[in-house]
A = this chain, B = another copy of it.
């Protein structure tokens, strides 16, 4: 009780309240925490959450261009290029110019990249479980449903439109 952060009240300020009532603060902390758990759980692979997202996107869509990967993984276009460059440098991804559209740059997992992506699935699921662990199963489902609703509704914000699907499938 005495330790409940929500009890923190304004001090010198006028109407300032605790950060704990700000959705943005909680979302930011949640993100920090998830990244920390993921990195801890997947330390042996040396792969970040964003890199893993890109790799699974390429697993689902081999030979996708950067914009497609960006939409698939919900990552900024500019950033996707950087991430792919790092993965390329580590030999997990190879990139080549598209024959169909010479503006596009096609990316594909190498054999090692493919292998690592599949091997990481277990660690990834462990990280997820550890992250959600504090909540009961029912609350976990509630949280997932609420977050999904939020992301879908606000999808247009930020430079990561997040298609998740394509009509041209």
Q: How far is the CA of A151 from the CA of B60 in the complex (A)?
A: 32
Q: Are A23 and B157 in contact (CB under 8 A)?
A: no
Chain B positions within 8 Å of A159 at CB level: 36
Which residues of chain A from 38 to 82 have a CB within 8 Å of any chain B CB? Answer: 38, 40, 49-50, 53, 56-57, 59-62, 72-74
Chain B positions within 8 Å of A36 at CB level: 157-159
Which residues of chain A from 1 to 44 have a CB within 8 Å of any chain B CB? Answer: 3, 5-8, 10-16, 18-38, 40
Q: Are B19 and A24 in contact (CB under 8 A)?
A: no
Q: Are B148 and A146 in contact (CB under 8 A)?
A: no
* Stoichiometry, copies per complex: 2
Chain B positions within 8 Å of A102 at CB level: none
Which residues of chain A from 129 to 169 have a CB within 8 Å of any chain B CB? Answer: 131-135, 139, 142-144, 146-155, 157-160, 162-165
A104 in the interface, Cβ–Cβ < 8 Å?
Answer: no
> CB within 8 Å of B: which residues of A?
3, 5-8, 10-16, 18-38, 40, 49-50, 53, 56-57, 59-62, 72-74, 118, 121, 124, 127-128, 131-135, 139, 142-144, 146-155, 157-160, 162-165
Return the 7 tightest CB-CB contacts between A and B, nearest first.
Answer: A134-B153, A5-B164, A36-B158, A32-B158, A26-B147, A36-B157, A31-B31
A19-B164, A24-B38, A29-B74 known; 18 new pairs, CB 8 Å cut-off, are A13-B118, A15-B121, A16-B60, A18-B164, A19-B57, A19-B72, A24-B49, A25-B74, A30-B30, A30-B31, A33-B157, A35-B158, A37-B157, A133-B153, A134-B150, A134-B153, A139-B146, A139-B149
